[in-house]
Amino acid sequence: SFLAHASLEAGEHQAGAGADALQLMTVHSAKGLEFHTVFISGLEEGLFPHENSALEPAGLEEERRLMYVALTRARRRLYLSFAQSRMLHGQTRYSYASRFLREIPEQLMQKLLAPALSFNPGPLRGGRETSGSFALPRQGEMRAAFRQPTAGSQWNIGQNVVHPKFGAGVIVNAEGRGSDARVQVSFYDAGVKWLALEYAKLSAA
């Protein structure tokens, strides 16, 4: 497969330094190498740092060292990106920016915000048509939504949490107050679930 071939050809076995070519590799494969321009993708909680490593201090520090390795591969330009949602194991999972990305001082970064994306799904099955369109909010709008507090609770949208059964995840929505308060959590292994806060037994990650 392409990914298997890319893995075997990573690092020093790819195009030589200065060659006009794109090189795809893992952070481990990039150790000891430098490039004029580097793109680091997947900077999301659960991916980088990995969900398993994020639960242990030693594992988290190892992931942080890998992040430092990735950042220092760039000589001139460095691009950092994360996805607000992605398909993983057949499910759409909503993500929050990696804590490593948030640890970088804002004055050292220039934020690039993509314009809102939209599409018209066209005719639906059964011959019906739709005139509506679906719009994805701009990154700034998503971040503003993440910062809204949940209704009647100490939990915040965008906060990393751990559930005794479903594992680690991030709060993506909230509603209700008091005993009726509930949150929607995107779990890294169990998918997206609504949980009643009165019974959920959530803990901060």
Percent of the chain exceeding pLDDT 70 equals: 71
CATH class of the domain at 140-205: mainly beta
How far apart are alpha carbons 204 and 170 in whole angstroms?
A: 10
Average pLDDT over residues 16-39: 82
Do 34-110 and 140-205 fold alike per CATH?
A: no
pLDDT digits (tens, 9 = 90+) for 119-170: 443 443 333 333 333 343 444 443 433 344 444 457 887 888 999 999 998 8
Structure confidence at residue 118 (pLDDT): 43
Other CB atoms closer than 10 Å to residue 144's CB: what's the count?
11
How far apart are alpha carbons 171 and 161 in whole angstroms?
A: 7
Between strands 134-136 and 160-163, the pairing is unpaired
* Residue bearing the bigger pLDDT, 125 or 205: 205
Structure confidence at residue 42 (pLDDT): 92
How far apart are alpha carbons 85 and 64 in whole angstroms?
A: 23
Q: Is the pLDDT reported for residue 37 higher than 50? A: yes
Cα 4 to its chain centre, rounded Å, is: 23
Q: Is the pLDDT reported for residue 62 higher than 60? A: yes
Q: Is the pLDDT reported for residue 55 higher than 70? A: yes
CATH of domain 34-110: 3.30.160.800
Other CB atoms closer than 10 Å to residue 173's CB: what's the count?
16
Structure confidence at residue 45 (pLDDT): 85
Range with top average pLDDT, 102-116, 118-132, 189-203: 189-203
Residue positions counted in the chain: 205
- When pLDDT is cut at 50, 70 and 90, the band that residue 176 belongs to is confident
Domain boundaries, the chain: 34-110, 140-205
Distances (CA, A) of 168 to 16, 85, 101, 162: 41, 16, 19, 4
pLDDT digits (tens, 9 = 90+) for 2-14: 655 555 555 555 5
Structure confidence at residue 40 (pLDDT): 94
